[in-house]
Amino acid sequence: MESNVDLGFLLHALMPSWNSVPLLTGFFSYLAIAGSILPGKIVPGVALPDATRLHYRCNGLLSLLLLVALLGIGTNMGFVSPTAISDRGLELLSTTFLFSFLVTLVLYFSGCESQSKGSSLKPHISGNLIHDWWFGIQLNPHFMGIDLKFFFVRAGMMGWLLINLSILMKSIQDGTLSQSMILYQLFCALYILDYFVHEEYMTSTWDIIAERLGFMLVFGDLVWIPFTFSIQGWWLLKNNVDLTTAAMVANCFVFLIGYMVFRGANKQKHVFKKNPKAPIWGKPPKVVGGKLLASGYWGVARHCNYLGDLLLALSFSLPCGISSPIPYFYPVYLLILLIWRERRDETRCAEKYKEIWAEYRKLVPWRILPYVY
């Protein structure tokens, strides 16, 4: 009987609700306005196949800090509940999922109507509706001058932090704030803030320059990132974990090493794309075939940035201890995803670079983790 009640409660909590619509509408409206008017560095994107470049206003950090400040003021004045998100987490999850589904339907049908011949908006239609809806048919669709792909990534990262902050306030309100929660919140906040400090690096990632905007990316940005990356926080709300000093120190080392590898590798790749002659670790870069960087982290493993990402994901879960597998959903999922993505990248690079890629593989034999994989 109790399991039936729990299941009924879960299903009810998962129902999309009009109560969540104002939260989402306000959030997206703020991002659209702030992203358009706040000052920020204008960063040229990577050259597209038709030799054009998109330009991105990288003001995400300012937008985020202003939003948190406004929410803090609203909370102090009694206009905003600090636990508004944590009180309706599942409801927000399902409503955001429904929004993502509807948005990608609009993207599909509007893309089919596009007559553009440019790389950004030219439709790529396979004839398989599910395939085209899932992977998208346009590279960089816009709405009212807003690049939707860049917009959704920003929304997902900010949404993750807002969920975490609401969970933090809920734990304080309930009197359950623990060292584990503080450690988890600290790592995630540092990671998210660092993302926005280096937001321009996002403009040279595979998702931005090569993936078309379909359900896969929209769902990943708006639903998967904020709601699954915060599972550890939700879990810590209901479970108390006592960490030893040694465990906390080890956890900090995992985070710092992961950050060093992740940020270092991505920075080296970004700098190399902007200036192929820029020194790497104080030395001229080693380049294969004039195209592929084989110095620094990229001389250690072909996808060394994935290793950093995995260590960071692990550091977000370690504050939860080892009593349950639930908090480790994110690093396990990420491991599976990155191995799949790495295989996909390898296939694409082999087709694109041909013998240059074969030479690079001989020079850098390890895929992600040296001497292991």
Q: What is the pTM of this model?
A: 0.86
Residue 4: predicted pLDDT: 42
Tokens of 140: 């960089």
Max Cα distance, the chain (Å): 69
- Structure letter (DSSP) for residue 268: H
| The pairing of beta strand 41-44 with beta strand 142-143 | unpaired
Residue 289: predicted pLDDT: 81
Residue 64: predicted pLDDT: 96
Residue 209: predicted pLDDT: 83
- Whole-angstrom distance, CA of residue 8 vs CA of residue 14: 10
Distances (CA, A) of 45 to 128, 202, 209, 292: 30, 9, 8, 19
Crossing angle of helices 231-238 and 148-174, in 10° steps, is: 10
Give the rounded distance of the alpha carbon of 56 from its chain centre: 17
pLDDT tops 70 at residue 244 = yes
pLDDT tops 60 at residue 10 = no
pLDDT tops 60 at residue 12 = no
Q: What is the pLDDT of residues 120-169, one digit of tens each?
A: 888 888 888 899 999 999 988 998 889 999 999 999 999 999 999 999 99
Greatest mean pLDDT among 11-15, 17-21, 104-108: 104-108
- Is the distance from CB of 277 to CB of 285 less than 8 angstroms? yes
Q: What is the pLDDT of residues 247-292, one digit of tens each?
A: 999 999 999 999 999 999 988 888 888 788 888 888 888 888 888 8
Tokens of 318: 């370690």
Give the rounded distance of the alpha carbon of 103 from its chain centre: 19
354: left (phi over 0), alpha (psi -120 to 50) or beta: left
pLDDT tops 70 at residue 8 = no
Mean pLDDT, the chain, whole residue set: 89
Residue 167: predicted pLDDT: 96
Percent of the chain with pLDDT over 90: 56
Task: Give residue 11's pLDDT band: very low, low, confident or very high (50, 70, 90).
Answer: low
- Is the distance from CB of 361 to CB of 299 less than 8 angstroms? no
Collapsing DSSP states into helix, strand and coil, what is residue 174?
helix
Q: What is the DSSP string of 89-116?
A: HHHHHHHHHHHHHHHHHHHHHHHHH---
